[in-house]
Structure 1
């Protein structure tokens, strides 16, 4: 039950953190609860669109305080540097006193993992923020003047979208996609075939079944000893998370993801709720992998859970199922693979212009609209609760 002026602190304003914050403000608008959102930047990072910035496109700068105008949320521009679960405080690098919390929402997300392969952190670009994407765009513009080679390391959805966007925008550059698996391996055969035709049409060289062992100033070294020429290397292979939770003594897995129960509360500290890329969320069909698609429903669920707990109501376990795998293939092409709850492919898919419309109008633009609409009404961010696949809790 809520006692006094309950303070909820949300760490991280990514897709999960923003959804949790906006919905908490709506849920608790008639209470004396206070909500504070902490994020290093006052701008909302549209991670779904960072590959567009890398290709030199200018996107709207959405300011978080403006998106949350009228909600009563306090925004703090700063980075959380330490959590003390004993005193329920969070240290912030903005020079102010530590923030005290009654409930903490841990939504710090993830960032590209450049620490496992030598040279990736020094010679590789990443799509970690608008700033890093803009630096890559500037380098690509300079390189196109004389022609050169670009390697994209990682054949996941981020690598595919980046490789096709760069190849379409900078046709004088030779773009190579390096991947351990075949690009689009998680998709069905027809969607994967369309993806491969798009890569061929845009002139992207695909080298699958390879592992990168070193990133050098002008090349990328492979496991078999061969070197691939590379004037610019974009690193999209793997992610890592902040060590903040582990350092605070909060229970985590070997990757540093916060271990949570069926209601997304820390198994070691129930006053901490973990969502998004930073949480080890396990359902009956397996563990969720971090995406905007799963992060927004987790943020929505956690806001509803906190509101119910504060009112002394029962909470049902989190249920979620994947619905689609949307992939941009430049500005004029895309492919959408519809999926089962466990992210395995269904027979249905979209390609071409219909897929472009689907992704741009129904996927990429939806999150910010959802956050803003919470000032006036409840808006769901959940496409699927998983059906039969999530009726039983994870073991």
Structure 2
């Protein structure tokens, strides 16, 4: 028997999978698929960013990234440091900004999301600030430099959990700054009444002035030396839309997918993380979050593997358990929720909650490192 020819045939028959995006969803999908296929991970950065720590970076944490080379070492995943500029689902190929054309049998679209851009908003379409006073989580490092140059007045726009964490963290780290938190509706609307009361109490103790019912269209409306925009998130799906992939009919701008996370119009394309309009029986449409990126990234990989083995992919099964909110380094809120993400009465606060939130954040990187070492084990972990 010609062993060389047999090995070459096996090599040619391995699926070619391209994963766009090395965030939580894309990286986990690539790691799980690597033992079974030829995987190319396309992302311009050579580092994985813990996006859930960007408010900490703005507050002075030295670094919130990890070298991709260390995570991917020995996995077989090939990282291409480039940006995808075109997607052709008919020819099944991706074009990158360095001129490469990458063919694929299956594609995982996991390009995530960014701080929203609305007409007249302070942020340009690539997340850059049109108003020099305006910053976002993506520009956390520049924000930190500005705050170090202070003191002055700072306004955080957006009363969701991202805005709450940003305001609490910055008020604690830069006590000489006068901090306001502007919210169009009730602060932390998804939390219970007791949970919102705790957030208000901690923010007040940090000197943060909360202004609910304050709708802001752009930074020019805010009288402050610096403005942090956390009011909305939008998916990075322009590439998908230009390629003709159907987007969410409900208008979220995310890629329309079935229960196994396949594109409704191009089933050889799977979407995961914030770019996908994923849904599950209990919560319905999943919100954009690290808590949903990891499970959907893992499920996209499971669906591709099932399909390759001639099986019907299983539908996504997911339910929420908690919402984690850091309120500076020494306080927090762990809000227990039902599977549909509605709040329960039970919650943790104070240092206990702060420690629990830190462990949750650390666990995301632990999961990724586990997937690099033992990818077959990940699917056995509840929720992944």
Q: Is TM-score (shorter-chain normalized) higher than 0.5?
A: yes
Match of 1:245 among 206, 219, 240: 240
Partner of 1:11: 20
- The answer (yes or no) to whether the contact 2:185–2:212 under 8 Å persists in 1 is yes
- The answer (yes or no) to whether the contact 1:17–1:107 under 8 Å persists in 2 is yes
Q: d(CA) in 1 for partners of 2:309 and 2:345?
A: 44
CA displacement at 1:326 relative to structure 2? 0.3
**Matched residue pairs, number?**
361
Determine whether 1:360 maps to 2:343: no
CA displacement at 1:381 relative to structure 2? 8.8
- Select between 164-173 and 60-69 the one with higher mean Cα deviation: 60-69
1:178-257 paired onto structure 2 within 5 Å: 178-216=182-220, 221=221, 228-242=222-236, 243-253=238-248, 254-257=251-254
Determine whether 1:117 maps to 2:120: yes
- Select between 17-26 and 232-241 the one with higher mean Cα deviation: 17-26
CA displacement at 1:382 relative to structure 2? 6.1
- Select between 110-119 and 186-195 the one with higher mean Cα deviation: 110-119
**TM-score normalised by L of structure 2:** 0.90
Segments of structure 1 that go 5 or more residues without pairing to the other structure are: 222-227, 386-395
**Cα distance, 1:187–1:114 mapped onto 2, change above 3 Å:** same
Q: d(CA) in 1 for partners of 2:18 and 2:141?
A: 31
- The answer (yes or no) to whether the contact 2:43–2:82 under 8 Å persists in 1 is yes
Q: d(CA) in 1 for partners of 2:167 and 2:75?
A: 39
- The answer (yes or no) to whether the contact 2:94–2:101 under 8 Å persists in 1 is yes
SS across alignment from 1:365: helix
Partner of 1:393: none
- The answer (yes or no) to whether the contact 2:29–2:301 under 8 Å persists in 1 is yes
Q: d(CA) in 2 for partners of 1:283 and 1:87?
A: 31
**Cα distance, 1:347–1:91 mapped onto 2, change above 3 Å:** same
Partner of 2:5: none
Partner of 1:269: 266
CA displacement at 1:150 relative to structure 2? 0.3
Segments of structure 2 that go 5 or more residues without pairing to the other structure are: 1-9, 124-128
Partner of 2:372: 375
- The answer (yes or no) to whether the contact 1:339–1:345 under 8 Å persists in 2 is yes
Partner of 1:23: 32
**Cα distance, 1:384–1:348 mapped onto 2, change above 3 Å:** farther
CA displacement at 1:335 relative to structure 2? 0.5
- The answer (yes or no) to whether the contact 2:75–2:373 under 8 Å persists in 1 is no
Match of 1:316 among 305, 311, 314: 314
Q: d(CA) in 1 for partners of 2:214 and 2:195?
A: 23
Match of 1:126 among 136, 159, 169: 136
Determine whether 1:79 maps to 2:99: no
CA offsets per residue over residues 282-323 of structure 1, 9 Å max, x none?
Answer: 333421111000110111111111111111123211111111
Partner of 1:105: 108
SS across alignment from 1:331: coil
1:21-100 paired onto structure 2 within 5 Å: 21-26=30-35, 28=36, 33-59=37-63, 61-93=65-97, 95-100=98-103
- The answer (yes or no) to whether the contact 1:9–1:103 under 8 Å persists in 2 is yes
Partner of 1:143: 150
CA displacement at 1:370 relative to structure 2? 1.0
